[in-house]
Structure 1
Amino acid sequence: MVGEMAVELKLLGAAIVVGLVQLLWAAAAARAHQGDLKWAAGPRDTPMPLGGVAARLERAFWNFAETFPFFAAAVLACAFAGKLGTDLTVWGSGLYVAARALYAPLYASGIPTIRTLVWLAAMAGLVMVLVALFR
């Protein structure tokens, strides 16, 4: 089929959805935890700290935000270099997206060791895409 989008680019889109879901989930949890919509709608000059699940979701989102630009750049660099469609790029992209989708619920649940292993899996996926770029 002419113009079929590479699976890695579809997975990049899926990673964007994962990030947006995490952002909205963290924001909703923060508003529920803080309970003060007047503060949320205002200039927020006085910090209102988060705790519990809301704080964990915020940290999980920022962890995603730290790694996503590297993943996006790696996939786009592979696309530009004509290196998509390899086992490394397909499986690496899939591993990154799946692990990032699992990471936030694990973090929110307070599950430490498995969460760390899932983070490592996401990083392994990212490294796989980078390896494909330099082959």
Structure 2
Amino acid sequence: MISVIKATTIEELARKCGIDEQGLKAQIATFNRNAKEGVDPEFHRGESALVKRNGDPLVTPNPSLRALEEGPFFAVKILPGDFSTLAGLRANGNVQVLGRDGAPIPGLYAAGNDLNTMGGGNSPAGGFTLGPVVTFGFVAGQHMAGQI
């Protein structure tokens, strides 16, 4: 569940989030100064031409950075987590899950996050398994139907 916190001022937002008010105000003040100059030296947001092109053309000097001066202000609590295994079950070319002995387990197939990915446990981005789940789901269906 995602929790969105809304406040009319930075101080109120800090209190609602349990964040040090003075620390958040200082962080926002630094961000605002930099945004007005069109730079983000801390996180380098708005540096690439693509990001600038996708920004708000009415915001200058950098369409990707706008000072946070008028409320309401919002915060979202983010907790670390694992979105998938990316190193799941081993399978053969028909996506039949392989047992410890390396032989296919009859009737057991895997695709998507349950299947060891082409990334070998690494993901370049969210959604990495969406293409393979469709492809390997199709392969599993074809194999079950005796088509391959």
More strand by share: 2
Q: What's the TM-score bracket when you normalise by the shorter of the two chains?
A: under 0.3
More helix by share: 1
Provide TM-score, normalisation by structure 2: 0.25
